[in-house]
Amino acid sequence: MNPAAFQPDYAVPPGETLKEWMVENNVTVLDMCDEMVAMPPFVNRLLAGDEELNHATAVVLERVTGIDWTFWIERERNYRERLYVQRIEKPR
Protein backbone atom coordinates (compact mmCIF):
# COMPACT_ATOMS: atom_id res chain seq x y z
CA MET A 1 0.00 0.00 0.00
CA ASN A 2 1.23 3.47 -0.85
CA PRO A 3 0.92 5.57 2.37
CA ALA A 4 0.65 8.79 0.35
CA ALA A 5 -2.47 7.39 -1.36
CA PHE A 6 -4.21 6.61 1.93
CA GLN A 7 -7.46 8.63 1.87
CA PRO A 8 -9.83 7.42 4.61
CA ASP A 9 -13.33 8.85 5.01
CA TYR A 10 -12.57 9.55 8.66
CA ALA A 11 -10.05 11.86 10.33
CA VAL A 12 -6.63 10.30 10.97
CA PRO A 13 -4.02 12.58 12.51
CA PRO A 14 -0.49 12.50 11.11
CA GLY A 15 0.51 11.48 14.62
CA GLU A 16 -0.92 8.02 13.91
CA THR A 17 1.57 7.60 11.08
CA LEU A 18 4.32 8.92 13.30
CA LYS A 19 3.34 6.44 16.04
CA GLU A 20 3.57 3.58 13.54
CA TRP A 21 7.00 4.78 12.44
CA MET A 22 8.11 5.03 16.08
CA VAL A 23 6.98 1.45 16.81
CA GLU A 24 8.66 0.10 13.67
CA ASN A 25 11.89 1.88 14.59
CA ASN A 26 11.81 1.26 18.35
CA VAL A 27 11.65 4.98 19.11
CA THR A 28 10.05 6.10 22.38
CA VAL A 29 8.33 9.42 22.98
CA LEU A 30 11.37 10.55 24.95
CA ASP A 31 13.66 9.51 22.08
CA MET A 32 11.45 11.48 19.71
CA CYS A 33 11.62 14.50 22.02
CA ASP A 34 15.41 14.31 21.96
CA GLU A 35 15.53 13.94 18.17
CA MET A 36 13.05 16.75 17.58
CA VAL A 37 14.46 18.95 20.35
CA ALA A 38 10.92 19.24 21.70
CA MET A 39 9.20 18.87 25.04
CA PRO A 40 7.08 15.76 25.79
CA PRO A 41 3.77 17.68 25.95
CA PHE A 42 4.33 18.98 22.41
CA VAL A 43 5.19 15.53 21.03
CA ASN A 44 2.22 13.95 22.82
CA ARG A 45 -0.15 16.60 21.38
CA LEU A 46 1.36 16.03 17.93
CA LEU A 47 0.81 12.27 18.23
CA ALA A 48 -2.79 12.80 19.34
CA GLY A 49 -3.58 15.27 16.55
CA ASP A 50 -4.10 18.10 19.03
CA GLU A 51 -1.11 20.07 17.73
CA GLU A 52 -1.19 21.37 14.17
CA LEU A 53 1.76 20.13 12.19
CA ASN A 54 3.33 23.17 10.53
CA HIS A 55 6.11 23.50 7.94
CA ALA A 56 8.88 23.75 10.55
CA THR A 57 7.69 20.60 12.32
CA ALA A 58 7.35 18.78 8.99
CA VAL A 59 10.99 19.61 8.17
CA VAL A 60 12.09 18.30 11.57
CA LEU A 61 10.07 15.11 11.04
CA GLU A 62 11.73 14.64 7.66
CA ARG A 63 15.15 14.89 9.33
CA VAL A 64 14.17 12.45 12.09
CA THR A 65 12.13 9.91 10.10
CA GLY A 66 13.52 10.24 6.58
CA ILE A 67 9.95 10.74 5.31
CA ASP A 68 9.65 13.79 3.05
CA TRP A 69 8.27 16.93 4.70
CA THR A 70 5.61 17.25 2.01
CA PHE A 71 4.14 13.91 3.12
CA TRP A 72 3.67 15.29 6.66
CA ILE A 73 2.12 18.53 5.39
CA GLU A 74 -0.29 16.60 3.16
CA ARG A 75 -1.29 14.28 6.02
CA GLU A 76 -1.97 17.32 8.22
CA ARG A 77 -4.00 19.02 5.49
CA ASN A 78 -6.06 15.85 4.93
CA TYR A 79 -6.63 15.45 8.67
CA ARG A 80 -7.80 19.03 9.23
CA GLU A 81 -9.98 18.93 6.11
CA ARG A 82 -11.63 15.69 7.26
CA LEU A 83 -12.25 17.12 10.74
CA TYR A 84 -13.96 20.11 9.13
CA VAL A 85 -16.12 17.92 6.89
CA GLN A 86 -17.14 15.78 9.87
CA ARG A 87 -18.16 18.91 11.79
CA ILE A 88 -20.33 20.29 9.01
CA GLU A 89 -21.87 16.89 8.19
CA LYS A 90 -22.71 16.15 11.82
CA PRO A 91 -26.50 16.13 12.28
CA ARG A 92 -27.83 18.71 14.69
* pLDDT tens profile 12-66: 899 999 999 999 999 999 999 999 999 999 999 999 999 999 999 999 999 999 9
Predicted TM-score (pTM) of this structure: 0.82
Largest CA distance in the chain: 44
What pLDDT, on the 0 to 100 scale, is given for residue 86? 80
Give the count of beta carbons closer than 10 Å to the beta carbon of residue 47.
19
Range of the domain at 41: 12-89
**Domain membership flag for residue 31:** yes
Residue 1 has what pLDDT? Answer: 40
Kindly report the CA angle at 29 between 26 and 50, in degrees rounded to 5? 130
**Which has more confidence, 8 or 27?**
27
User: Structurally, how many domains does the chain consist of?
Assistant: 1
Q: Is residue 6, in this structure, part of any structural domain at all?
A: no
Q: Is residue 49 part of a domain?
A: yes
In the predicted model, is pLDDT for residue 79 greater than 80?
yes
Q: Is residue 7 part of a domain?
A: no
